[in-house]
Chains A and B, each alone.
Chain A
């Protein structure tokens, strides 16, 4: 299947700093990518839909100024957690593909810990 790569796999940052997470589709072009957040023992929660060349669409309750999404090319979307706080500590996952009636492919996830 197609490959989606996330970087970094884990990151520890200090409270108040910003962290950027990259999501790349390695062998296909993705006009749409999705960003999810998952807290321990919970399911994936969709944060936003990232569209190449346009603004991301955020789900209700997700602060667009705190979670900056940039989808500048057909193979790369980035999520920046700005002014991170301990409550932002979570597992962040991206996916690509899945439009039309195909499957979506997921990155390996990024474990963010804010201290």
Chain B
């Protein structure tokens, strides 16, 4: 089972910041939080990941709470091309392999 919960859908106006929340209250101390997005009928695209500290790259920012029980993905200036399903994932260690267990994600609609 996925270790994360996300709202099923969100709307955002083009040009505004999109803030996508994620709860992961059962996360373990050494488990990373990953964000991917999937545009219809394509493979998932990596966005960002983090452990404790906030992270930023050219696509987005990731804000992780101090207790690590939740995080927020921020797309600073959403465009129509950012319309996709966004997945927040806690990667778990299963034997020698690190697995991504996917939840249902948040369907983000960016509106003109």
A interface residues with partner B (beta carbon < 8 Å): 1, 4, 6, 32, 34, 36, 42-46, 49, 57, 91, 93, 95, 98-101, 103-109, 111
Q: In the complex, what residue of chain A is closest to B43 when comparing beta carbons?
A: A106
B87: chain A residues within 8 A (beta carbon): 43
Flag B84-95 by CB within 8 Å of A: 1 or 0 each: 000100010001
Across the interface, do B43 and A104 meet the contact criterion of CB distance under 8 Å?
A: no
The answer to whether A104 and B100 touch (CB under 8 A), given A43-B87, A43-B105, A98-B91, is yes
Q: How far is the CA of A11 from the CA of B82 in the complex (A)?
A: 28
A45: chain B residues within 8 A (beta carbon): 102
| 18 A–B pairs (Cβ distance < 8 Å), ordered by A | A1-B46, A42-B104, A43-B2, A43-B87, A43-B102, A43-B105, A57-B97, A93-B43, A95-B100, A101-B49, A101-B51, A103-B46, A104-B46, A105-B46, A106-B36, A106-B45, A108-B42, A109-B41
Across the interface, do A93 and B99 meet the contact criterion of CB distance under 8 Å?
A: no
Q: Which of B24-69 touch A at CB < 8 Å?
A: 32, 34, 36, 41-46, 49, 51
Across the interface, do A43 and B103 meet the contact criterion of CB distance under 8 Å?
A: yes
B95: chain A residues within 8 A (beta carbon): 57
Q: Residue B32 contacts which of A6, A43, A44, A101 (CB distance < 8 angstroms)?
A: A101
Q: In the complex, what residue of chain B is closest to A91 when comparing beta carbons?
A: B41
B45: chain A residues within 8 A (beta carbon): 106
Across the interface, do B43 and A6 meet the contact criterion of CB distance under 8 Å?
A: yes
Interface residue? B16 (CB, 8 A): no
Nearest CB of chain B from residue A87's CB, rounded to whole Å: 20
Q: How far is the CA of A43 from the CA of B105 in the complex (A)?
A: 8
Q: How far is the CA of A103 from the CA of B100 in the complex (A)?
A: 10
